[in-house]
């Protein structure tokens, strides 16, 4: 009896000490063939075992960028202004293939994304649209991306970990459906790399596009100690891509990646930096809701100024001059609320955040600051104006006079 009891106890301890359940892994492979002659990419999704996925319900936008769908299993296309595509994969190995147009133009004649005979600047979010995944319990999809380049195209850069020459591992713990989001660049490229803290930074652009790659790396190196002090999350990889006109003359953050038009100054005449602003967006990942766009946009612009200032790149005189410009440009703003914050609202939001930072430092005797509010907002799945006020007052330990304003109504 004693032996049997000890055996049962040993088995029980082993069961408690080791996982008795583990997710069953099934491969999901993305193969993208770039076709510059038709300004398209042919995308193929392949499930090693289709039976584990009941359905993938894709958001195709207005449907105009996607065509030539072919599927193993059932495919149902619902056209319209909010087009959707529903794929119910076949039970065994199953593929969905389609084509997507790469170049997206603006009314001004510039491009958000573009494909030329020598290179392509792409948003991965467009290659594989967002989808609602309905899968069996206990399944983990292991996703990989492989790009097939045209003849003469030398390389490809993405923000995802490289596992082969043109192959990448796609793993986003915050999403059930792993898809290759973020900026991508392929073709005849020039790239510069460095390591900043835990992050491998790559600056890449097509050859002949005037991208100041070393200038970008130098500015990032300069502000990085301040970045590390403020933001608790540092990506393993950060990609900055750029090109010149007729690409859109702006900047935009995406998953662990930034687009920066190569004609943009790294620090503008007003003293702010588009590069640092987009970096704050990438690292902050603040998802605002309920007409509270001012929060994420305000934080990004605030830290575009503050990180450069803390690094010693902005004198008190230039900071005061910038403050005056923010006051002037935002004097007619009566509310910060809205689905998309205007430049004037963003300026007003920065002024509000600066006041809030001073209030927090004063009331906590310099033990806390707006940095603590930022980190709290980063921990929330999404944040609205009411959440922001409650979060700020929890940091202060008291009500906020600064946030008791009609601007937030």
| Predicted local distance difference test score (pLDDT) of residue 3 | 44
Residue 186's Cα: distance from chain center in Å?
19
pLDDT in tens, 189-214: 999 999 999 999 999 999 999 999 99
190's tokens: 């020039």
Name the helix (H) or strand (E) containing 225. Answer: helix 213-230
- Cα dist from 227 to 178, 314, 382, 387, whole Å: 28, 16, 22, 24
355's tokens: 């006041």
Question: Does 313 score more than 60 pLDDT?
Answer: yes
- Once rounded to an integer, what is the mean pLDDT over residues 97-117? 95
- Cα dist from 348 to 124, 312, 327, 342, 355, whole Å: 33, 24, 7, 10, 11
The secondary structure of 341-357, three-state, reads CCHHHHHHHHHHHHHHH
How would residue 21 be classed by pLDDT, with cut points 50, 70 and 90?
low
Per CATH, domain 286-408 is 1.10.390 = yes
| Predicted local distance difference test score (pLDDT) of residue 11 | 45
Statement: the pTM of the whole predicted model exceeds 0.95: no
- Cα dist from 14 to 21, 22, 113, whole Å: 13, 16, 54
Helix (H, G, I), strand (E, B) or coil at 207: coil
Scanning 285-381, the segments in alpha helix (DSSP H) are 293-310, 316-329, 343-363, 370-379
Cis peptide leading into 246, omega within 30 of 0? yes
| Predicted local distance difference test score (pLDDT) of residue 173 | 82
26 forms beta bridges with: 141
Strands 131-135 and 53-59: antiparallel
How would residue 23 be classed by pLDDT, with cut points 50, 70 and 90?
confident
| Predicted local distance difference test score (pLDDT) of residue 56 | 97
The span from the CA of 102 to the CA of 125, in Å, is: 11
DSSP secondary structure letter of residue 124: H
> Percent of the chain at pLDDT above 70?
95
Q: At what angle do helices 385-396 and 343-363 cross, to 10 degrees?
A: 20
Mean pLDDT over each residue of the chain, to the nearest integer: 93
Residue position matching structure tokens 């100024």: 305
Question: Does 4 score more than 90 pLDDT?
Answer: no
pLDDT in tens, 229-272: 999 989 999 999 999 999 999 999 999 999 999 999 999 888 88
- Once rounded to an integer, what is the mean pLDDT over residues 85-100? 98
Question: Does 227 score more than 80 pLDDT?
Answer: yes
265's tokens: 């100054």
Question: Does 32 score more than 70 pLDDT?
Answer: yes
- For the ranges 1-15, 51-65, 111-125, 288-302, the lowest mean pLDDT is seen at 1-15
Q: Helix and strand tally (H, E) in the chain?
A: 9, 21
337's tokens: 């609320």
The span from the CA of 288 to the CA of 143, in Å, is: 28
The secondary structure of 264-276, three-state, reads CCCCCCCCCCHHH
Ranges of each domain in the chain: 286-408
Residues 6+ apart with CB under 8 A from 144: 27, 28, 29, 30, 163, 167, 168, 169, 170
Query: Whose CA is closest to 265, among 255, 257, 276, 254?
Result: 276
- Cα dist from 101 to 40, 150, 213, 343, whole Å: 4, 16, 28, 31
Question: Does 14 score more than 50 pLDDT?
Answer: no
202 forms beta bridges with: 193, 239
The span from the CA of 263 to the CA of 234, in Å, is: 27
Residue position matching structure tokens 């923000």: 159
């Amino acid at each position: 009896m004693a032996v049997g009891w000890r055996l049962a106890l040993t088995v029980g301890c082993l069961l408690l000490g080791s996982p008795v359940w583990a997710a069953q892994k099934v491969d999901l492979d993305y193969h993208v063939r770039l076709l510059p002659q038709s300004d398209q990419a042919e995308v193929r999704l392949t499930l090693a075992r289709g039976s584990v996925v009941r359905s993938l319900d894709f958001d195709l936008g207005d449907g105009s960028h996607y065509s030539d769908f072919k599927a193993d299993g059932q495919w149902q296309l619902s056209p319209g202004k909010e087009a959707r595509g529903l794929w119910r994969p076949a039970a065994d190995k199953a593929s969905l293939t389609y084509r997507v147009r790469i170049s997206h133009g603006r009314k001004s004649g510039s491009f958000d994304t573009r494909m030329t005979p020598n290179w392509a600047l792409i948003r991965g979010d467009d290659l594989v649209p967002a989808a609602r995944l309905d899968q069996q319990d206990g399944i983990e999809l292991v996703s990989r991306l492989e790009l097939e380049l045209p003849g003469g195209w030398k390389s490809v850069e993405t923000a995802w970990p490289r596992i082969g020459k043109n192959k990448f591992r796609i793993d986003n713990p915050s999403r059930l459906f792993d898809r290759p989001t973020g900026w991508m660049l392929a073709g005849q490229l020039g790239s510069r790399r460095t390591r900043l803290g835990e992050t491998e930074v790559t600056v890449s652009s097509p050859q002949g596009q005037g991208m100041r790659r070393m200038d970008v790396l130098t500015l990032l190196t300069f502000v990085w100690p301040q970045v590390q002090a403020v933001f608790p999350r540092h990506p393993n990889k950060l990609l900055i891509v750029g090109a010149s006109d007729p690409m859109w003359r702006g900047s935009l953050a995406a998953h662990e990646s930034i687009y920066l038009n190569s004609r943009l100054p790294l620090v503008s005449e007003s003293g702010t930096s588009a590069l640092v602003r987009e970096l704050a967006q990438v690292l902050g990942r603040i998802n605002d809701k309920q007409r509270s766009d001012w929060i994420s946009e305000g934080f990004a612009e605030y830290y575009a100024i503050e990180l450069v200032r803390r690094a010693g790149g902005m004198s008190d005189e230039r900071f005061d001059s910038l403050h005056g410009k923010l006051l002037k440009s935002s004097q007619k703003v009566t509310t910060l609320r809205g689905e998309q914050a205007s430049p004037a609202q963003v300026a007003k939001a920065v002024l509000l955040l600066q006041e809030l930072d001073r209030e927090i430092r004063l009331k906590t005797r310099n033990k806390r600051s707006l940095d603590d509010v930022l980190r709290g907002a980063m921990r929330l799945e999404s944040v609205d104006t009411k959440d922001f006020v409650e979060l700020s007052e929890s940091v202060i330990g008291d009500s906020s006079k600064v946030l008791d304003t009609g601007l937030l109504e």
